[in-house]
Amino acid sequence: MPGLIIAAVIVGIFLIIPIGMYNSLVGKRNQVHNIFGTMDAMLKKRWDLIPNLVSTVKGYADHERTLFENITEARSKAMSGQMSENQKVGLENSFMQLLGVVRATVENYPDLKASDNFMHLQRTLNELEEQISAARRAFNAAVTDYNNAVQMFPTNIIAGMFGFTIKELFQIEADEREKPQVGGLL
């Protein structure tokens, strides 16, 4: 009889530990998805601002045509919804550079820079950029947490059995990294 109890306990332990590991892996993966979702929503919010930005700037600097075309093109790509996660990241990075060009261009139009509409836009964009950057960092932290669990012993055994694969981190481009966090106003 005692032998039976011991056996039951051992079997129980061997069941409970893998279940716990499996659940923690699922929890970590969901955390990654959750944060990616939030980040995606913020990126979309920013894309929604773009037509507004374009029309405001156009009022003062109508002849910067190619710039507007590039921005509008980037936006329609982003809104098409037919991009993989990696493509999305690539587009985000090139769009950041485009915004940099807008910033430089605006410097030539003091009236535009001082207009209420533009100041408001600038604040909203700053806000979103800061939120997006926070979301990226949260995403990377969640992915690292998840990847550690997938690759480290003993959870890697469970991860291998149930097909948990490591996820890609958001890369921040070198030139973006050099940009000061709060400087370089639009």
**Residue 140-179 contact track with another protein, rule CB under 8 A, x = bound:** xxx--x----------------------------------
Question: Is residue 130 at the binding interface for another protein, with CB under 8 A as the rule?
Answer: yes
Cβ atoms of residues 183 and 100 within 8 Å: no
Under rule CB under 8 A, which residues in 107-126 are in contact with another protein?
Answer: 122-124, 126
- Judged by beta carbon, residue 98 or residue 128, the one nearer another protein is 128
Residue 115: Cβ within 10 Å count: 16
Question: Closest separation between CB of residue 183 and another protein, Å?
Answer: 9
Q: Is 23 helix (H, G, I), strand (E, B) or coil?
A: helix
Question: Closest separation between CB of residue 135 and another protein, Å?
Answer: 5
85 Cβ partners below 8 Å, 6+ apart?
A: 36, 168
Question: Closest separation between CB of residue 31 and another protein, Å?
Answer: 8
Cβ atoms of residues 61 and 109 within 8 Å: yes
Question: Is residue 35 at the binding interface for another protein, with CB under 8 A as the rule?
Answer: yes
Under rule CB under 8 A, which residues in 54-113 are in contact with another protein?
Answer: none
Question: Closest separation between CB of residue 55 and another protein, Å?
Answer: 20
52 Cβ partners below 8 Å, 6+ apart?
A: 121
Positive or negative: CA dihedral 28, 30, 33, 37: negative
Question: Is residue 135 at the binding interface for another protein, with CB under 8 A as the rule?
Answer: yes
Residue 86, token pair as written in the block: 């990696």
**Cα separation of 67 and 90, whole Å?**
19
- Judged by beta carbon, residue 58 or residue 128, the one nearer another protein is 128
Instruction: Give residues in contact with another protein (CB under 8 A).
Output: 31, 35, 38-39, 122-124, 126-127, 130-131, 133-135, 137-138, 140-142, 145, 180-182, 185
